[in-house]
Amino acid sequence: MPTEVIMPKVDMDMTEGTIVTWHVAEGEAVEKGQPLFDIETAKAAMEVEAPADGLFHHPVAEGTVVPIGQPVAWLYAAGEEVGPPPAVAAPAAAAAPAEPALAGAEVSAPSEPMRAPEPPMSRPAPVADRPRATPAARSLARQGGISLDRIPGTGPSGRVQAGDVRAWLDSAASPSPTLPAVSYETGALAVHRSRGGTGTPVLLIHGFASDSTSWVPLEAHLKHRPLIRIDLPSHGKSPRLRIDSFADLAAEIRRAFDGLGVEKVDLIGHSLGGALALSLADTRPRSIASLTLIAPAGLGPQINGDALTGICRATRVESLKPWLGALVADDSLISDAYARAAMASRNDPAQRAAQARLADVVFPDGVQSFDLKAALDRLDMPTRMIWGRQDAILPWKHALRAPGQVALHFFDGVGHMPQFECAEEVGKLLRAAL
């Protein structure tokens, strides 16, 4: 008989989980303990391992919401006949709860059959009270990096449904009518690897409107290690991919990471790349030896929207240079040569249009549309945060929301780019830690 792969119960309040991605293909051989798929619940995102050796068959579709204990795939022994999916008994209509309910706690309804995501629903007027939400809605909101407080619900007593979240995400993802049209491409993100170095590789993820060359000042301090750099979509050598939410962006980074073929990395991210590094560490924790966040996004709503808009709109060195100066505490660091090089990397109007659209998606109206504070609380790998106290793009006080196990390093007289403004000091810190 084939072995069931079931939706596990990973926390006391969990009633169902969402299949985010499968790590293996239909018919592929897997070993017991091998990462098999990712799930997301209202509280967590994690990998699930194969319960046995076997050949992988009959997976449910990615994005499907599955009650706990229900099969999501089957593992067949070598030579075992593979027919249609085995019949599954329907869940009991009134099963007793697995744990006793706490006083005053809401008791979950009985498990329902697995279901695909609901179709979008029209967005109603907001309700006055904080809305309740279904587990599926909580999972989608967490994936999209948004607060449920911002989404009006259409369910009983204003309960937020999965369709409400999708409708809100669709609305937030609609580009501003003033944005230029974008010609999108397909393909994998560009990955750059250094030659030489030994030990655990260091993976670097740059920020918005930058590219992998922004790490050059810091790389001299990391050259004893293999270095891997990923260009974000519509940045550097990467294709102009359509991104409709922060979750889409994080998924592209996960796909690139999963294709690297490395067991573990020391992960470093800056600004938007810091938010993506944090998201990656949250969903691939066993693959991250340590995490370094340099002025990361995702820890509060505030961001310098004027600077983002100015950089996106700049079509010549003269209009770009003043906004580059906002990135550093001492704008004399932004020489004419630096500004010319930055503009040269942004000469393609199609790339500028794609970056402007991306900014409108993840930073609509000059606000961070995603919230990763809960992910920061879940980290269990060594983590440090580096920030300049004169950062004019993201407030350094966002770092104070970090839990006690995260090491904080603040630099006076430094702005949004510590890896450039004080590369020597940051490099020494990292070399001692990694």
* Tens-place pLDDT, residues 287-346: 999 999 999 999 999 999 999 999 999 999 999 999 999 999 999 999 999 999 999 999
What is the average pLDDT across 19-34? 87
* Tens-place pLDDT, residues 95-152: 444 444 334 344 344 444 555 444 443 333 333 344 467 767 777 777 776 777 667 6
Query: Residue type for 355, please?
Result: Q
Residue 227 contacts residue 430 (beta carbons within 8 Å): no
What pLDDT is attached to residue 195? 86
Q: How large a percentage of the chain has pLDDT more than 90?
A: 65
Domain ranges of the chain: 3-76, 135-173, 191-433
Topology agreement, domain 3-76 and domain 135-173: no
What pLDDT is attached to residue 84? 86
Q: 135-173 has which fold? A: Dihydrolipoamide Transferase (4.10.320)
Burial class (CB in 10 A: 0-12, 13-18, 19+), 231: buried
Q: Which CATH architecture fits 3-76?
A: Beta Barrel (2.40)
Answer whether residue 47 shows pLDDT above 50. Answer: yes
Q: Is 239 helix (H, G, I), strand (E, B) or coil?
A: coil
Range in 3-7, 107-111, 305-309, 351-355 the model is least confident about: 107-111
DSSP states of 27-62: T-EE-TTSEEEEEE-SS-EEEEE-SSSEEEE-PPPT
Range in 116-130, 176-190, 359-373, 408-422 the model is least confident about: 116-130
Mean pLDDT of the chain: 86
Structure tokens at 206: 């740059």
Structure tokens at 290: 């340590």
Q: 191-433 has which fold? A: Rossmann fold (3.40.50)
Q: Please choose, from the candidates 219, 227, 137, the residue with its C-alpha nearest in 3D space to the C-alpha of residue 191.
A: 227
